[in-house]
Amino acid sequence: MQAILYQLLEALCYLHDTLHVAHMDIRPSNILITTSNATTIKLCDFNRASRLGSVLVCDGTPGYMAPELLMTMGITDGRPTDMWAVGATLYELCVGQPLLSVFTPTEGHLGIIRRGVDLHHIRDPVLQDLCHKLLMFDPGARITAAAALQHPFFLPTPRSTRSSGGGMRSSGGGGEHWLAACRIACRRRTKS
């Protein structure tokens, strides 16, 4: 899972810092995994992409929309919004259910305001910390793509605990878990 998440963050870092664009619709069904190599991803569906500095509208996939999109008008920086969506995607892939399983995103976001995101289902404390930093309610406090790439979750681990995937931390799931979760999320969306 680390290699795929790392590639997603690299793509967002390029979009945010080089192209000055926010994707605005990060979710499992917009992350394609090549069939020839399960560790190569492609980010798709740029229909909602927005140049940084332009006013953002409250539009997106409800379960992955950042709280600030629902509560504020005139947001001009979509980078934290993308990072919230990465956190919501990561949460769903780790826990097996969406972060917000309500029909109207406002209900779910208000619950998060009141109690914070419950991350106790994520067993790896380092992965839990990354997810916490991605799902900070305050967009100014949310981790950036560049900072997330430096998170300890992506650091090599001692030889005795290395996985075959390049020596990154083992989170209890590999690329095949990510692929299965993406397929489940896609099926769930096509049924609704």
Q: Which residues pair with 43 in a beta bridge?
A: 31
CA distance 1 to 39: 8
Per DSSP, the residues of the chain read -HHHHHHHHHHHHIIIIII-EE-----GGGEEE-SS-TT-EEE---TT-EETTSPP-S-S-GGG--HHHHH-S-----HHHHHHHHHHHHHHHHHSS-S--SSSHHHHHHHHHHH----TT---HHHHHHHHHHT-SSTTTSPPHHHHHTSGGGSB--GGG--TTTTBPP-S--HHHHHHHHHHHHHHHHH-
- Which among 25, 45, 59, 82 is annotated as catalytic? 25
Query: Is position 118 annotated as part of the catalytic site?
Result: no
> Active-site residue numbers?
25
